[in-house]
């Protein structure tokens, strides 16, 4: 938790000093935003360490007006990066009945420039995935139902832990499968090139 003092006072958005911490990632103050400053420094150090591979940054928030769980992601110039970033929310939607893919969006709103998702999305390389996960304060709707199901503290935590584990395993499986397919294609292309070169050499020699 990056806002222990504010939460202790009953704030769900502002810190003890009244700052919205998720708008100060670009230049956090060690005095005014100490937790943010420390976490940012840690992530920067990890990103510069060749032994560390940062796969995900996920900022978890509660949403006061919308229902279900959903995500915000970043927009990229390269379409392939954007497609890769969309895989995780889609897998989460398949595994979590309370996750809404229709409420999930990818944007670069100016007002969100100081968020962790936006700042770290520009800092980390394109193999790291940065998201904001929003979960309703109140309830969620499942597919085909019009009756909202209230979130409970224990139920929400257990539900999301289970779904996140399943989704992460699914993503690892997808990555491994994609890697194997790519390897097979590379081997096939390599064999075809070898065969082509062999035929070419035979034609030249004859």
CA dist 138 and 65 (Å) reads 9
CA dist 152 and 166 (Å) reads 21
CA dist 77 and 20 (Å) reads 29
Contact 143/71 with Cβ under 8 angstroms?
A: no
Q: Given 134, 153, 187, 192, which residue is catalytic?
A: 134
What does the DSSP assignment read for the chain? ---HHHHHTT-SSB-TTS-BGGG-SSS--TTTSHHHHHHHHHHHHHHH-TT----EEEEEEEESS--SEEEEE---SSHHHHHHHTHHHHHHHHH-TTB-STT-EE---GGGTTSHHHHHHHHS-TTSEEEEEEEESSEE--TT--S-EE--HHHHHHHHHHHHHHHHHHHHHHHHHHHHHHHHHHHHHHHHHHHHHHHHHHHHH-
> Is 134 assigned a catalytic role?
yes
Catalytic residues, by residue number, are 134
């Amino acid at each position: 938790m990056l806002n222990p003092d504010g939460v202790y006072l009953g704030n769900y958005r502002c810190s003890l000093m009244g700052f919205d911490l998720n708008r100060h990632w670009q230049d956090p103050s060690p005095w005014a935003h100490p937790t943010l400053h420390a976490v940012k420094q840690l992530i920067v150090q990890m990103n510069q360490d060749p032994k560390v591979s940062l796969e995900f940054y996920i900022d978890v928030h509660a949403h006061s007006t919308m229902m279900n769980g959903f995500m915000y992601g970043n927009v990229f110039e390269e379409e392939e990066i954007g497609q890769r970033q969309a895989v995780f929310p889609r897998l989460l939607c398949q595994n979590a009945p309370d996750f809404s893919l229709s409420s999930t969006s990818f944007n670069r709103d100016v007002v969100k420039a100081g968020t962790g998702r936006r700042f770290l999305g520009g800092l980390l390389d394109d193999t790291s995935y940065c998201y904001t996960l929003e979960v309703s304060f109140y309830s969620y709707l499942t597919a085909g139902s019009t009756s909202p199901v209230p979130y409970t503290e224990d139920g929400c935590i257990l539900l999301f832990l289970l779904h996140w584990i399943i989704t992460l395993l699914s993503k690892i499986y997808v990555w491994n499968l994609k890697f194997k397919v790519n390897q097979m294609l590379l081997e096939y292309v390599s064999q075809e090139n070898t065969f082509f070169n062999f035929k070419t050499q035979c034609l030249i020699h004859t």
